[in-house]
Each structure stands twice: as structure tokens, then as C-alpha cells.
Chains A and B, each alone.
Chain A
């Protein structure tokens, strides 16, 4: 079983690389815990803010003796942020059960080599412009807005987004043909 608390001591000591390994294993569980908020708040912003707070508060976190205490804590932070944001936006009708499920979050294993290879093969099969748009997004790592990525590729922003959408769909179809579901 994966226990992301293996990184906790290093994270508390300020090791950003260790925090990166923690985020790599925790991100999907944290994001999926916000599914019931998806129509109410921008969960991408919540996920990023939650991890920044976890990093800031990690030195004060005491493990509860069970595996993945830092992951459960991250889910709790993310859900509280989402509830605050939903209230701020005066969203009505958020299901109270959204606070449940903290215990359900589980860590994600690193992608296996077969998945990596399948995705690489499907990316190689993409037409040029969709491939360029997808590569620009991946290489940027969230550092730049799409407007900047589009300008660098000599595309209008809307054309960039359409090419990115095509890449996403074609990649999904290609992976499906290989028996891979994302």
C-alpha cells in the first residue's frame, strides 16, 4: 500500500522535491473529492490553493498514526476551501454530504510504463496543430495563460483551444482503441 506520509518528515523540513512527490500521489484523490463542487466552484483553483496551504501548514501537522494522514488533511483543506468559495459566491444547494468522503481518498501510484508508452504513441499519431497545442500546454506546466501559448504558436486563442480540444478527443479515442481508459 502506498503511504504518502513517507514524505512528511522531509516536507516538514522544507523539502520542495518531497512535496512534489506528495502532490504527484495526492492530486487525483484531492481533485476527485471535489467532484460534488464541480458545478459551483472552479476546482482547479481550489486544488492549487489547498496544496499551497498544506505546504505552509505542514510543519504543524501531526500524523494521526494511520497511513496517508497528510492526504486526508489535504482533502479536508480542499473541501473547506470549496465550501467557503461556494458560500462567497452565494451558491445554494451544495449537498451537506460533500464533507463526507475524507476517509475515502486514496493515493495514486505513478503512471506505469505501459500507460506512458500508449500515451506517447497516441501523441505521435496526432496531426501537427493539435499536437503543438497539447505540447504547449504540457511544457508550460500552468505557468502561462493560453493567450500566451497561442501567440507563441502563431494561433488565435480560440484556434489554439479548438486544436487542444481536438488533441484531447483524438488522444482519448486512440487510447480507447488500445484498451486504455483515462
Chain B
């Protein structure tokens, strides 16, 4: 895997979009399973920073995770 491919996988995992399984469960992102342990930890830390940016950009201080959750209950 090239550094660029790895970086793209990390970027993909930072998305809050997740598919649902047949029983309605939220599935892990397929890019997550293509990363090694270090890449997965990097994606975790990157997601924390991205959510902070999203929160600061939203008038209600909602991250994309929060908005995805609220979209499912409304």
C-alpha cells in the first residue's frame, strides 16, 4: 500500500456515513478493515480532530456524527 492509498483510507474512515446491515445495525466502514492497527489508530485521532472542526462550523455545535444520529431518530 502506498502512503497516498493509506492516507485515503484514513480519510475515508473519518466520514460519519455508515451503511446499515440487514437487521438495521450500523456497519463498520470498509476502509477501516483495509487499514493496519497503526492506520486505524491514526483514523481514530483524525476523526476526533475532524469532529471538532465540524462542531465549530455548526451553529448548534453538532458534528456530523451527531447529525447522522439525529437523522436516524427523527
Contact = CB atoms under 8 A, between A and B. Distances in A.
Interface string B1-27: 000100110111111111100000111
B18 to A, nearest CB: 5
A19 B17 CA distance: 20
Interface stretch (A60-68, A98-106, A110-118): A110-118
Interface string B58-74: 10111111111111111
A125 to B, nearest CB: 14
A40 B32 CA distance: 10
Nearest to A108: B55
B11 A165 contact: yes
Nearest to B74: A16
Nearest to B53: A119
Question: Which bracket fits the contact residues of A?
Answer: 35 or more
Interface residues of B, number: 53
Interface string A1-34: 0000000000000001001110110011001101
A39 interface: yes
Contact of A165 (B8, B44, B57): B8
A44 interface: yes
Interface of A: 16, 19-21, 23-24, 27-28, 31-32, 34-35, 38-45, 47-49, 51-52, 55, 85, 110-111, 115-116, 119-120, 123, 134, 137-138, 140-146, 158, 161-162, 164-165, 168, 171-172, 182
Given A27-B51, A110-B61, 5 more contacts: A48-B26, A49-B25, A143-B67, A168-B50, A182-B53
Among all A-B residue pairs, the 7 with the closest Cβ atoms: A142-B16, A142-B68, A42-B28, A141-B67, A38-B44, A39-B37, A161-B8
19 contacts: A23-B66, A23-B70, A27-B63, A42-B32, A44-B15, A44-B29, A45-B18, A47-B65, A52-B73, A111-B61, A119-B57, A120-B56, A141-B67, A142-B16, A142-B64, A142-B65, A146-B15, A161-B11, A168-B49
